[in-house]
Each structure stands twice: as C-alpha cells, then as structure tokens.
Amino acid sequence: MISETKNFHLATGNNQISLPVSRGPRNSYAGVLICVGGRGNEGDPYKSVEYLEAHKSWKMEWKSLPDMRNARRHVGAIALGKCLYAVGGHSGKDHLSSVECFDLETKQWVLKKEMSTPRRGIALAVVEVFGSQCIFAIGGLDDQMCYNNVERYDPGSDTWTNVAMLSIHRGGVCAVTLNNEVYAIGGNDGVQSKACCEKYSPLLDKWKDIPPMKQRRAGAGATVANGKIFVAGGFVQGSNHDKISLATYDNAPLASVEVYNPLSEDEPWTCIRPMASPRGGVGLAPLSGKLIAVGGHNGKEYLKSVEIYDIETDSWEQGPPTHLARAGSGIAWIKADIELLNREPENLTALKDAI
C-alpha cells in the first residue's frame, strides 16, 4: 500500500496555452486564474474556489466564486470553452471519479459523467481529436497504487473513453498540451518520483518517450509559454541526491524550475531561476503576461503565498496571496468576461430583491 506520507501532496499542473516565441503569454492577458479545492493546515479538503483577474499591477486580490459540490484535494482542473472542469481528487474519505463543471455565465457547478477510475493526483489536458476538443485525464493514484491509465472526455456527448496507457505508472503527474500533443511530465510510480516524460499523439493514440528532466519530481506545476514547457516545484521522493536539488532527504519540496524546448536536440531541458520558496503540490499557470505559482507546501506548512515569474527578466516576485493556504489544488487559466464574472448570478440577485 502506498502510504499517505510517501505520496505527500501529489498535485498537478494542467494549463495549456500555445504562445508566440518573441513575447510573454499574450493570450493570458484577457482572462482569470481560477484555483479550486486542495487542502490546508487543518488537513481537510476544500470545496472553496478563488480567482485572480489579469492586471498589469499586482495589487489585485483573489476573489471568491461559488463552492464546488464536492470537497476535493489533489484535484485536476482545466478550462474548456466557457466552463471550468474539476475532475477526481480525494474528498477526505474517498477517492473520487466524479466530475463537475462550473459555468462562467450561470456561476453554477453541474455534475458531469464520472470517470471509470477514482483517483487523486491526476493530470488534465485539452487537445483536439478529430475536430472535437476533448479532456484527457492522465495517471493519478489511490491508496493502493499509482495508475498508468488515461481516459478521454468528450463534452459534446458527456462520455469517457479509455485510450492508450502511459508507458509507466504516474501519480502526481503534471500535463500540458503543446502543438496538439499531450505531455505527461514526472510523477511517482509508487517507489520514487520520476524525471522521465512522454508525449501523446491523439491521431496515433500512442505515447512516445521524450528526454527526461534534470530533476525527478512529483506534484509539480506545469504550463506552456513561448512554445516551451515550464515545470516548477514538486516533491522529490525516494532519493538522496539529485542533479539540481540540494535536498538530501526523502519527500523534499523543490524550488527548482525547468524549461523544455522541443526544438533543442542537444539540451532540451534547461534550468532557470528557482522560486523563492520550495513548493510541493504547487499550481502553475499564465496570467497578465507572466507565470503564476500558487500555493503548495514548503516542507513545514501549507502556503498562501504566490510567486510571479517574468520570462523576459528570468526573475520571480511576490504576488497577492490566496485567501486560504492550499496545496494539491487545481489551477487553470480561463478566458472570461470580467464584468460578467464579478456580477452576481441572476438567481441570487432575485433572492436578495425578494428579501
């Protein structure tokens, strides 16, 4: 049995935005960053949801959205169309196969078709399959094992389909989409965290190995910017020494950050400036032309703190903290009408008028 301690706060980063080479993440200027679930110092998973608006200054504060129907830690989150999906996770009692979707216009969470396999530490990615945008649920774990199975969700038919399995078992894996291929990065196989990575072709329904990271990590955050994959933080497990980590003990949270360039044959993975704080179970996503690292666990406590990475200057600065300390939350960027998002739902407004 995989102990809860050994798989301490496995989480995912599931954010996909393909961007021009010469600039920061332009598409992320218009939209919001949404943070769902996770858990904090009390130990119980959250239903709560927070969001941060895109803004040139970082004086903005996180705002609240309606709670999810279910509390979820180590949950996968991803945007598709005008909806945010929360998939799987752990309720505090059980592993979840349930899926819920938040509609930005109605501001309501709606249950969708469940996955076939309940699991936490799952990674999500969106990719086009034969003309339809589909969500892929990748890897994950429960208290017995880490998984290598992958399921594909079609929102049009509200159905899940099993597709080609990963080459290895990956709990706490992170995933991104780049050039219409899905990348599964790191994770834990039940023995140790992994540096190996693989990519999936939806046309061939096949996974293929790519060069490994310099650092083995599970529960990292990942996103895409400028045609490259950025991977931050996570935990290193089952290891004494690693290439770019000063950690010499099992289950150490990491501050290191790596970038994968698919066009580089000699050295596809390079290290960039590390975060100020180590963060296992961290979320990573683009916003306002920067990359945002949200929450996590530093080895001593759950974090409210947020760090903002400037790609042009290779530097990190402090951002607005979340309301709750969170690790293992789902993080996703979504295109949104800010005025609509800040507006109260019509049913709530009608209720207040009646009172």
Dump the DSSP string for 67-116.
Answer: PPSS--BS-EEEEETTEEEEE--B-SSSB---EEEEETTTTEEEEEPPPS
- The pLDDT of 202-224, averaged and rounded, is 97
Q: Which domains does the chain show, CATH number per domain?
A: 26-354 (2.120.10.80)
Q: Is the pLDDT of residue 91 over 70?
A: yes
pLDDT per position as a tens digit, 122-174:
999 999 999 999 999 999 999 999 999 999 999 999 999 999 999 999 999 99
What sign results for the dihedral spanned by CA atoms 73, 30, 101, 48? positive
DSSP letter assigned to residue 211? P
Of the listed ranges 5-9, 57-61, 306-310, the one predicted with least confidence: 5-9
Q: Is the pLDDT of residue 3 over 90?
A: no
Q: For residues 99 and 78, give the distance between their C-alpha atoms in angstroms, rounded to a whole number.
A: 11
pTM of the model: 0.88
DSSP class per residue in 19-82: --TTSS-GGGSSSEEEEE--B-TT-SBP--EEEEE--SSS----EEEPPPSS--BS-EEEEETT
Both tokens assigned to 131? 């003309």
- Return the pLDDT at 250: 67
DSSP letter assigned to residue 121? S
- Return the pLDDT at 353: 45
pLDDT per position as a tens digit, 258-304:
999 999 989 999 999 999 999 999 999 999 889 999 999 999 999 99
Q: For residues 70 and 90, give the distance between their C-alpha atoms in angstroms, rounded to a whole number.
A: 9
Q: Is the pLDDT of residue 29 over 60?
A: no
DSSP class per residue in 247-309: --STTEE---EEEE-TT-SS--EEEEPPPSS--BT-EEEEETTEEEEE--B-SSSB---EEEE
- Return the pLDDT at 337: 75
Q: For residues 133 and 154, give the distance between their C-alpha atoms in angstroms, rounded to a whole number.
A: 7
